[in-house]
């Protein structure tokens, strides 16, 4: 690897780290705000409208910030091509998925375990008439592993979503001049 490639690689990971913190922070904020809304004493339709508006803001904000960081990287590194921009997006997707998954794990395991236990107890009571003893035992086992299952499922889902988004955005970042190779004939 030459010096220029090392610089681009270092810049890519620095930008991906910042993007990962921002994108993971947005998703984590959405998680905690909607969790709070679920316990706030608001009318049901208000909660649904607020949750929907927040989801749209989170979704659009994540796309916008991913595009922003990819364009910033391309602007700061003129030698960066679409492939390197895609790799930046993948790195940002991985890091943001790690941030969000870690907070999600901490929420279930340490911050609000009673909330999830309460919800699962209600679910088990509703489902009890339809389950045999083996199914109930498997559900209990699954509940014991819920924090880990949540961590890995969020990690995989967020990384895949971010990778697909990065692929779509990187096709036009940096933008290409369609006439760059055109050389008019001397007349």
Lowest-confidence segment of 50-59, 78-87, 138-147 by average pLDDT: 138-147
**pLDDT at residue 162 greater than cutoff 90:** yes
Token pair recorded at residue 78 = 């003129």
Lowest-confidence segment of 17-31, 62-76, 135-149, 158-172 by average pLDDT: 135-149
**pLDDT at residue 177 greater than cutoff 70:** no
Contacts with 107 (C-beta within 8 Å, 6 or more apart), sequence order: 31, 32, 35
Q: Are 95 and 25 in contact (CB under 8 A)?
A: no
At 99-129, the pLDDT tens digits run 999 999 999 999 999 988 888 888 888 888 8
- Across the range 49-70, mean pLDDT stands at 98
Token pair recorded at residue 116 = 């999830």
- Across the range 12-34, mean pLDDT stands at 97
The per-residue pLDDT of the chain, averaged, comes to 91
Q: Are 107 and 32 in contact (CB under 8 A)?
A: yes
CA atoms 62, 68, 72, 78: torsion sign: positive
Name the band, by pLDDT with cuts 50, 70 and 90, for residue 166: very high
Alpha carbon distance 98, 121 (integer Å) = 29
Name the band, by pLDDT with cuts 50, 70 and 90, for residue 136: confident
**pLDDT at residue 186 greater than cutoff 70:** no
26, 32, 35, 37: CA torsion to nearest 10: -80
Q: What is the DSSP letter of 129?
A: G
Token pair recorded at residue 96 = 């943001």
Give me the percent of the chain exceeding a pLDDT of 70: 95
Q: Please, what's the b/e burial string for 75-104 (b: 16 or more CB within 10 A of its CB; e: otherwise)?
A: eebeebebebbbbbbbbbbbbbbbbbbebb
């Amino acid at each position: 690897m030459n010096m220029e490639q090392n610089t681009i690689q270092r810049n890519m990971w620095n930008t991906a780290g910042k993007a990962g913190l921002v994108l993971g922070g947005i998703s984590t904020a959405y998680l905690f705000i909607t969790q709070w809304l679920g316990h706030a004493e608001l009318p049901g339709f208000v909660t649904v409208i607020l949750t929907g508006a927040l989801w749209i803001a989170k979704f659009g904000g994540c796309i916008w910030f991913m595009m922003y960081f990819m364009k910033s990287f391309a602007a700061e590194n003129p030698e960066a091509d679409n492939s390197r921009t895609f790799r930046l997006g993948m790195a940002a997707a991985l890091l943001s998925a790690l941030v969000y998954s870690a907070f999600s794990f901490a929420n279930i395991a340490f911050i609000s375990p009673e909330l999830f236990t309460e919800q699962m107890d209600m679910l088990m009571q509703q489902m009890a008439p339809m389950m045999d003893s083996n199914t109930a035992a498997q559900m209990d086992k699954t509940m014991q592993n819920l924090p880990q299952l949540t961590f890995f499922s969020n990690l995989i889902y967020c990384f895949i979503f971010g990778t697909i988004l990065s692929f779509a955005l990187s096709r036009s970042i940096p933008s290409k001049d369609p006439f760059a190779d055109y050389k008019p004939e001397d007349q």
